[in-house]
Amino acid sequence: MMSHKAPFITFEGGEGCGKSTQIEILFRHLLQVGIDVVSCREPGGTKGAEEIRSLLLHGDGERWTPTTEALLMSAARADLVEKRILPQLEQGNWVLCDRFTDSTLAYQGFGHGLGYDSITALNHFTVGTLKPDLTFIFQLNPELGLARTALREGGKDRYEQFDLSFHTKVEKGYEEILKKNPERCVGINALLDIEMISQMIFEEVCQRFEI
């Protein structure tokens, strides 16, 4: 049973997996069928959280220690949850979020080696009992994902500078999250074409929330 009034859906995955494109498509689909929905991203979504996003995504890879990085990410998340996500859910609006607590588990817990248990405890401290009702995890070979991001304009962000071994650990982290949360998480083959993926996602959402 949900602890909030409306569905909270998150999109997860490594670099270049295409989740941001799919969140935009689902957002439009939901609007078209008359659902009040908002979309946000992590880190970001509020003035303060966007400032923290800039700190996390810019600069060299060694700019922050793993612990500092996890705490910065959590600070941005706490602001987003308190100021945007919870108020919207309580008003009955659906919320779609590009990344959430699973990202910290995958990137800082597995990628940086801070550990599943310590990040789970940090996530609980940050968001309390709030959990997504449904999470789509986009699965893609990290090497291919990084090749995709290299084609983007604007150069590499801080996470795209990390080596392949880091991103391979992140992908393993997502596999573990998927395994531990079979009811909440749905794996998506990111190699499928955009239209096929969007159709799969919309069908899952319609079935899950009886649209």
pLDDT band at 187 (very low <50, low <70, confident <90, very high): very high
The chain-wide mean pLDDT, for the chain, equals: 93
Q: Is the pLDDT of residue 128 over 80?
A: yes
What is the per-residue pLDDT for 147?
83
Domain locations along the chain? 8-209
**Cis? peptide before 7, omega within 30° of 0:** no
- Provide CATH code, domain 8-209: 3.40.50.300
Residue 163 has pLDDT above 60, yes or no: yes
Asked if residue 8 has pLDDT above 50, the reply is: yes
Q: How confident is the model at residue 33 (pLDDT cuts 50, 70, 90)?
A: very high
47-57 mean pLDDT = 96
pLDDT digits (tens, 9 = 90+) for 63-109: 999 999 999 999 999 999 999 999 999 999 999 999 999 999 999 99
